[in-house]
Structure 1
Amino acid sequence: MLESFLTFINQQKLDISEKSTLLTVSGGADSIVLAHLFYRAGFSASIAHCNFGLRDQESDEDELFVKKLAEQYAFPFFRTRFETKKFAAEQRISTQMAARELRYEWFEELRKSQNINFIATAHHANDAFETVLLNLTRGTGLAGLHGISVLNQQVIRPLLFASKENILRYIIDNHLTYREDSSNLSDNYKRNMIRHEVIPVLKKMNPSLEKTFGVTSQRLRSADILLNHFLKDWRNSVTENAGEGLVISIKELLNSPEPTYRLWFILQDFDFSYTQVQEIFSAAEGISGKVFYSLSHQVLKDRYSFVVSKRENSVDEHELIIDHPKGIFKTGGLILEIRKILKTEELNIDKKTRSVFFDASKIIFPITIRNWVKGDTFCPFGMKGKRKKVSDLLIDLKININQKQKVKILSNGNGDIMWVIGLRTDEKYKVTDMSQEIIEIDMKE
């Protein structure tokens, strides 16, 4: 395996033989093999270990195990401890996401402070394949089918050539010991479900699954590079610079094969998602004046073109832009607390009568709270497609003139009205049995 390791490094042009590398070692089989290969190859390396405090005594034993390993190889050793669950609660993210953010931030700080060239992780071929399957379940573009990149800025993955089977065989052949993370045996996490339930079924169909995927991944990566090269030339022929923005010819766009994908290729640089681009393209032959927003830019549908411009930082005093699905936001006498719910079982509508719930997959951030204006329309919850003017809703509910002036609406990133705040939500954004993630908004006055 050492020979394959060195061959892979040469093929991928990873310049680590003359430079220093920070090895991220958890104590598991993969990272133990990574450290052993660097030791045998005589590469300059240090070891970094994170104690996330998630498994009590097990976590402390892992830390001690890795420390002794570093001493055995005479590698400098760095360690840190995180209050992972506290950080996850504060940020309202999953424990796994919190651990990822914490460790990569620390690795980069350590790399800079110690003048280290690279950060090496122990991702292998199975990890790359699992990532592709995860991306497919979430929805992905061509880049999401590559798997994991060998090199991403200063982060390298020198074990991507090896399968999990190769790694375990190397462990046995070299009489190495490692620590088993008990959470890896659980199917509570999506990746573990794919690892323990989905992949074994696929391997019955193709025992050489990892090898086959490796070849396919290389082909997809090459195809993506060629496609991007072609589209860059095409983009220059259908766009004109306009200050910090861009003007895109709708005529040229409509005359091109796969126009939605082409439009996304242009607009992805301005923070627009593919879902947003589908909405934008649907307006190509519509009336002028419709505006679509991303976090940093806006797209105006003009007569013959889409005009991309930078979004102004200054916001009207009657408008509040919300960039992310968590936190407490105040405007116009309202206090809204927003959070994302991962499981529908957490819903408790009866106890939270001032809360509203939306299907998270249909929401495009940033969302906006603003005053309602004449001409605003939406589809009130329960009306199943029949649109209604906000002004008519206020009349039906006998809202007086003074109250009308205080009514605000919550609009989606595509401009749709999601909620006439405190009065009615839109049917399109309701929670259904198919909803996987939910946005909950608690309202206080």
Structure 2
Amino acid sequence: MLQKFKEHINKKFPFLKKQKILIAISGGVDSVVLTHLLKQLNFDISLAHCNFNLREKESDLDEEFVKNLSKKISIDCFTTSFETKEISKKNKESVQITARNLRYKWFQKLIKENNFDVVLTAHHLDDYLETFLINLTRGTGLEGFTGIPEINGNIVRPLLVFSREEIIDFAIKNNIDWREDKSNASTKYIRNKIRHQIIPVLKEINPSLLETFSKTVENLKESQQIIDDKIAAVSKEIILKKENLLKFNVSKIRQLSNPKAYLYQLLKKYNFTEWNDVSQLLIAQTGKQLFSKTHVLLKDRDFLILSKIDKKTTKTTYFIEKNISKITQPLCLTIEKATETSEETKNIIFVEEEGLEFPLIVRKWQNGDYFYPKGMQGKKKLSKYFKDEKMSLLEKEQTWLLCNNNNDIIWVIGKRQDRRFSVKNMPKTIKISLLNSL
């Protein structure tokens, strides 16, 4: 196995040879064997072990085992402890999801604090198959059948081509000790049910199941790549990016061979789940909205408009005191004295200092609001301005105003300045910039 592992690293992960590696180690045979393989090949490795306190004394013994292993082979070891059950109750999520999130968050913290390049986990081919079958039972798209990614950001999984049998065989032949997690024998969890009750039957039917499965996954990955290429090409034709919104052309989507399937591929990463409802937006009236945990999708005339739900900006009014030079909520504005004026843009305006009455106000628009648009005659209601600019409901909802203390509008932020505050005398000029506009 050592030679096969070396060849696999050289082929798929040659970059690891020059990197500082953190190994996620539980004490089980998979991560312990991964540690020994990398140590024998002289990689720069350290260990990271999470004690989730889920198995009383057994959890502490796992931690002790990992610490002793690190001393035995002379490498650094990082450990941490979590009260996982209490945290899962507080977050109202499963213990497994909680443990996973805590684990990966801690890994990223270690990477940042200790200048590691990557985290290696010991997922193997049997894990791959189990995940495939779990996704099959729950329902998934094609990406759910392409398994666990070998590389996902700075997380690398170099054992995915090896079976559990190969790993255990290597450990036994090389007199490598490991810890057995007794909970893995329980069929309480779906993964263990699949591991102990389903996969053995499948292996009876096909003794070469893992080899067949590996080839199938490769075929599915190739198919997924074709889909990804097609979606990238279609996206260029139907998606318009406008500030912090994505606008999907309804008529062009409806001309596609299977609009619902395309919508799934285009929107799946935004956490929508009710795909029949999403496809119905194509024929819905203007104003119809759908929400995921993170985004809102709005039908607005000829477009579906996607926007991120910003949980940080629940307030509708913010104040800027006189000596404040920068705010970051609800958006990022800088306020500074200008020694000269450059060309104004939608994100930069110049105003006369003596016309400002502090504290300035940043707020959402209200019915009846009006301003004097720079470059135009007379005043205009904001509702009429929005209509003339053909702004969608989402764009209106996301518009912020910069106002004087008396509520006179200085700037429809990122869109149009009020001419009453235009610069007339250069010596006392204030430059106001919007920094977080896309």
TM range (shorter): 0.5 to 0.7
**C-alpha distance in 2 between matches for 1:312 and 1:32:** 43
**C-alpha distance in 2 between matches for 1:15 and 1:248:** 39
SS of match in other structure, 1:147 = coil
**Aligned position for 1:332:** none
Q: TM-score, normalised by structure 1?
A: 0.67
1:306 counterpart = 2:307: no
Residues 225-264 of structure 1: pairs in structure 2 closer than 5 A:
225-264=225-264
2:272 counterpart letter in structure 1 = S
**Aligned position for 1:292:** 290
**C-alpha distance in 2 between matches for 1:283 and 1:238:** 16
1:43 counterpart = 2:43: yes
Gaps of 5+ in 1: 318-445
| Alpha-carbon distance change, 232 to 114 in structure 1, aligned in 2, over 3 angstroms | same
Contact 2:30 2:122 in 1 (8 A): yes
SS of match in other structure, 1:16 = helix
Q: Number of residue pairs matched?
A: 315
Contact 1:5 1:161 in 2 (8 A): no
Contact 2:24 2:48 in 1 (8 A): yes
- Cα deviation per residue 1:7-62 (whole Å; 9 max; x = unaligned)? 21122234111111111111111111111101111111011112222222222222
Report the CA distance between 1:315 and its aligned residue: 5.9
Q: 2:279 aligns with which of 264, 278, 281?
A: 281
1:205 counterpart = 2:205: yes
- Cα deviation per residue 1:218-277 (whole Å; 9 max; x = unaligned)? 2212221221112111121123333322332323222211211212233335x24242x4
**C-alpha distance in 2 between matches for 1:106 and 1:315:** 30
SS of match in other structure, 1:105 = helix
1:163 counterpart = 2:145: no
2:111 counterpart letter in structure 1 = R
- Cα deviation per residue 1:173-197 (whole Å; 9 max; x = unaligned)? 1111111111001000110011001
SS of match in other structure, 1:23 = strand
SS of match in other structure, 1:308 = strand
| Alpha-carbon distance change, 308 to 149 in structure 1, aligned in 2, over 3 angstroms | closer
Residues 47-196 of structure 1: pairs in structure 2 closer than 5 A:
47-196=47-196
1:10 counterpart = 2:15: no
Contact 2:272 2:291 in 1 (8 A): no
**C-alpha distance in 1 between matches for 2:207 and 2:58:** 34
SS of match in other structure, 1:307 = strand
**C-alpha distance in 1 between matches for 2:233 and 2:21:** 38
Q: TM-score, normalised by structure 2?
A: 0.68
Task: Please tell me the root mean square deviation across aligned C-alpha atoms, in Å.
Answer: 2.1
Residues 219-230 of structure 1: pairs in structure 2 closer than 5 A:
219-230=219-230
Gaps of 5+ in 2: 317-438
**C-alpha distance in 2 between matches for 1:230 and 1:155:** 27
Greater radius of gyration (CA): 2
Among all aligned residue pairs of Structure 1 and Structure 2, give the percentage whose two residues are the same amino acid. 38
Contact 1:12 1:150 in 2 (8 A): no
Contact 2:273 2:292 in 1 (8 A): no
**C-alpha distance in 2 between matches for 1:91 and 1:213:** 36
